[in-house]
Chains A and B, each alone.
Chain A
């Protein structure tokens, strides 16, 4: 297992349950993984008055019809039993007055079906998963940073990782490898993602010859704090919060008359950006107003949100509205996989935010991503163990470790060169300014040129820290390389896709074009260059129609 977030640990537990010898490799200790930050909740049709079909429809519509319906069906059907399984493991969800698991409304959903633990859902789930990991005796290699997936003659052989504590490179020989390394938020300047969300697994997969799918679809969350990018959960609007512009108007009434603040995220983010660009913002933000919810509700159901607003924006939501703006939040794209976590390379599997199944299509609904981690994490664990039980171990190529040592040594030896931080800043600015909420041909082309240039500079960058003991800078160098590759895939996909769908909005092509573009983008890396290809979308129950909220 590469990655010890929710998806990785869930997969590891499933594989361990089937009797396999499992190890999990993570660049940070499991409970530090960014799943811990998820606030709002997790979707499942738990009640008799709700149904998996309704959940499926909301998800398909939310995805702007780009989600694969066969996979979405699997997720929505299995959601309730996976939630109950979590409870069995020890998770505690908030309860309603009748003692059932409580559910709150979320954006883009026609039914209040988001289960939660106050506003600390991810934290509650991740710690339970960690507990189960210990219970099942999974071996943990923590603070080991994976830098290569080893593939030979078309099948997985294991991986190479650097142990932070000693700087040593190790080979981990295995029959199968599951990649669950999370999102790439740090490609952008303003992001809700952790400092460790650098999309490593996607970069590693490209190098191993796998395709990244639908990378141009990048979710911008409507309510993040301006300077730090820290998230104010959608649950805040789910509990009844308003969005106001500088005139004090609830502007969402204009953009989504029916559901207002609870339209899907792409819609709300674009509305906010429009308000701000047309001069009705407040210092580049709009206002999230929770005051009418009352102190008691804020303190009981949104206590973390309150603490974050006070600590990071200096505002107490009980007494003042919180300035928020759209910011990068989620990666809909990822390593192309099927609904069992398989990739095009036998023995390589993937799940969670690093994967693209695709259940989110062009726009993810809040609460569906935690769900994705546990449903498809479990399924990938099952597939990998079936694969292991039916496959003989193949040798680990002799040269792989030597080659990896050689390339790390080359980086450490380079005496002169630019600092990686300048390059990283260049990338953040380019992606934020040229590949954000509103895109067009010119902006994207500028961004693309810039990333190309940064990739050249990256090859010649040098480190200040040459030691091999807890060398953070070396890891940041490796992460930056992956992020530059990912940026290029996002830009290429966005330049090519001449339509607007879900989170991908082209001011020069403002309409969805199903005839030409109801298809997935695939990006491959070949000899250092990128190539695009396309794949059909699975449409089973719901024919594409116009999306209105």
Chain B
């Protein structure tokens, strides 16, 4: 039974459970809904939940665990030599699963029985040719041992799926019966549904937190591996970035960090004032009709993919800055520059800051402004002294979001600032950032055992720490200057 059909059956059972539960609750009080503790629908809901939730949880768990168990068993069959070599066992597993899926296709195409499949032998028949007929191309002749393992693999999978179907259906049926038997007039179905909602929300928050932890852990372990191969001091204090694929590279962080901070700084200098002023205009000064047009137009910029901005940087802003500013002032003749990328990222971030800030300013209650006007304050005094301070925590949040975007931006930097890791003050020179180097260290032929590739994880970790510090700093600002209104 496939997962899809199983899901449908469980769902159908849950729907039936809803109606049965509801009518059972009604009949338990002789059809008078006022005598029930909760509204009749809540009783139906408990039956649905008890039917579907444990069954689906079991199914998810099974689907997650089964491949791991099967893989472990197959690898066990490979013999200790291969099993201990991570790369070799991974390759063997890939072969096994490819042949197994080929056999699935073959069985489906030819309508073969399970017995016929079991009798097929790699040393007697041309498996490669037959699999090619159903569209599964193999790189070499099939090794009989691998072929036998593929057959085992299929059998184990089929058995697993079978067991899963039985258990899931049993769980659904058990939940159905248990929930139904609990129903009587006094049963607090409403509270059960409340508890369920709480756990659902906790689970969702848990997923978000766990994935973050998972990402950090994996970054962490690779970073530690990197520092096993490359001295930590040379990474953090190195002034040169010069990776060599034959080894002996200089992997100093400082030029990349400098480029990242410099470009982000330029972009924030552009985006923060313009974004906030635009927001103040749309929120406080613009007549409703103008606001209805201006706000969506500003927000439209946010929908443009960054690669388009990158093109804009490459063909318009870069050459313009070079021809009209950098060259006349004798500041260099590079088309890609910190200024180009910074300006364009700034433009990208304007709508972010302005649209969020506009919403935040609008959330400041009108009574606050009235209080200020009533004391004879002008509009700009009111905005500066009452509205903006009240909106500050939100505005800081918006700025922070924009800063993280600037720090993490890759495409515009590649196209606007180039890929040369340099340390310098001249904003019309090409420079590059951490993100660009993460990408370039991981493109091409890569092996995850050289410091030149593992450095990407250390760079990623550095970015993570920078954004974390930014967040902590912002929290601190917000705490310190918070002006809370009810």
Please say whether chains A and B are actual partners in one complex. Answer: no
Question: Residues on B close to A: CB < 8 A?
Answer: none
Question: Residues on A close to B: CB < 8 A?
Answer: none
